[in-house]
Amino acid sequence: DLGHFRHYMQKEIFEQPTAIANTLQRVLELGCKPALFGPEADTLFANAPAVRIVACGSSYHAGLVARYWIEEWTGLPVSVDIASEYRYRKGREQDGTLIVAISQSGETADLLAAMRSARERGDVKVLALCNVPHSTLTRESDLLFLTQAGQEIGVASTKAFTTQLVALYVLAAALAQSRQTLSASALDEIVGALHRLPVLVEEMLALDGELDKWAHELSHYNHALFLGRHTLFPIALEGALKLKEIAYIHAEGYAAGELKHGPLALVDENMPIIVCAAADELLEKLVSNLREVEARSGKVFLLAEPGCEAAHDGAHRVLTMPVASGPLAPVVLTLPLQMLAYHTACRKGTDVDKPRNLAKSVTVE
């Protein structure tokens, strides 16, 4: 039932505060405890020599964000692989490696093949992060965390993606707890931030009208670049994926520091550049990346947390977030990118919930 929404995708974007709150329910009662992932998790987390994340599409982007959190909070080596590539690679896995398989549906063929292939490469343990309780992935995994996004009908992942991010954030904190790599106060702060998350996400929905105006402009272009750094780099990839899959606009996501290694050659007054900015230690670097774009007349659409004023000069449009969200910035900044893609698609009149050539669950290779 769509209620007053025009599309399932729009409804699912607006369901995110609830989907996230539901995913966090046990976490907020218990804290980021390893036991949330299964009775064996504490020992496995404490002894894992490495983490390997495998996934496809948006789920892969969630994995890319998680790498920053896990590395920063635990010091563990983390690799993130596209499942369709990993399954045909030949490397071994160190015994005890934690394989994190991320999938909304739990039925993606390449992901299941990657998980089975990992088991043949070493004595690994598979942690499934999934939105569908009785899926193939959940049945074959050793450890499990279920996201509580509810059924997602729109083909483009929205609430499934943000709840995956939340689950991965909890995983990173739980790993830190088992491995004792953070002080109690640092861990408290990380867990405490989750309490505010549903409200932060809710506040983002108020930006919908403004993003519709951006979409009106964006819908006249055939190409777009998305930029970010650190945890916002995978969010740039995700923003570009959303725009291409539902609005059929060719879009590329880049780590802003990569610009001068090639894509800058594409920048002129016909290239809109959507930028996600956080007030972190890389802001200054991002600002100099933006100067390079602006010097070539690229049109910068800036989505910025408070404290990023240095990036405002020269931008074509600026939208400032209500509050800074610290390590949760990638979750919060996903919403405006979803809304931007959604409104651009609506303005172009595409079939938002069922984009051409795509299926919700890719059960063939």
* Contacting positions for ligand F6R (CB under 6 A): 56-59, 103-105, 108, 111, 156-157, 241, 245, 361-362
**Minimum distance of ligand F6R from residue 359's CB (angstroms):** 8
Structure tokens at 44: 């496995």
Active-site annotation holds for 360: yes
User: Smallest gap, in angstroms, from Cβ of residue 158 to ligand F6R?
Assistant: 8
Which of 201, 194, 196, 197 has the alpha carbon at shortest distance from 27?
194
Report the residue closest to ligand F6R, judged by CB: 57
Which of 244, 285, 348, 360 is an active site residue?
360
Residue with tokens 């007053």: 4
Place of tokens 């930006």: 207
Nearer to ligand F6R, 157 or 325 (CB): 157
Provide, rounded to whole angstroms, the least separation between the CB of residue 18 and ligand F6R. Answer: 20
CB 70 → ligand F6R: shortest distance, Å?
19
Query: Number of C-alpha atoms within 13 angstroms, CB side, residue 192?
Result: 7
Q: Measured between alpha carbons, how far is 60 from 55 in angstroms, rounded to an integer?
A: 5
| Contact yes or no for 255/282 (Cβ under 8 A) | no
**Residue 155 region by backbone torsions, left for phi larger than 0, else alpha for psi between -120 and 50, else beta:** alpha
Cβ closer to ligand F6R: 117 or 177? Answer: 117
Who's near 275: CB < 8 A, 6+ residues apart?
A: 226, 227, 228, 256, 286, 290, 300, 301, 302, 303, 304, 311, 315
**Half-sphere exposure of residue 174, counting CA atoms within 13 Å on the CB side?**
28
Instruction: Between 113 and 318, name the residue whose CB sits nearer to ligand F6R.
Output: 113
Phi-psi region of 3 (alpha: psi -120 to 50; beta: other; left: phi over 0): left
* Residues 191 and 14: beta-carbon distance below 8 Å: no
Q: Are 168 and 20 in contact (CB under 8 A)?
A: no
CA angle 296, 211, 308 (to 5 degrees): 60
> Nearer Cβ to ligand F6R, position 21 or 362?
362
Taking the least distance from each CB to ligand F6R, the nearer of 103 and 177 is 103
CB of 117 to ligand F6R, least distance (A): 16
Decide whether 108 or 325 has the Cβ nearer to ligand F6R: 108
Q: How far is the CB of 322 from ligand F6R (least distance, A)?
A: 26
Instruction: Give 3-state DSSP helix, strand, coil % of the chain, rounded to 5.
Output: 55, 15, 35
Token readout for 144 is 């499990």
Q: Catalytic amino acids?
A: 360
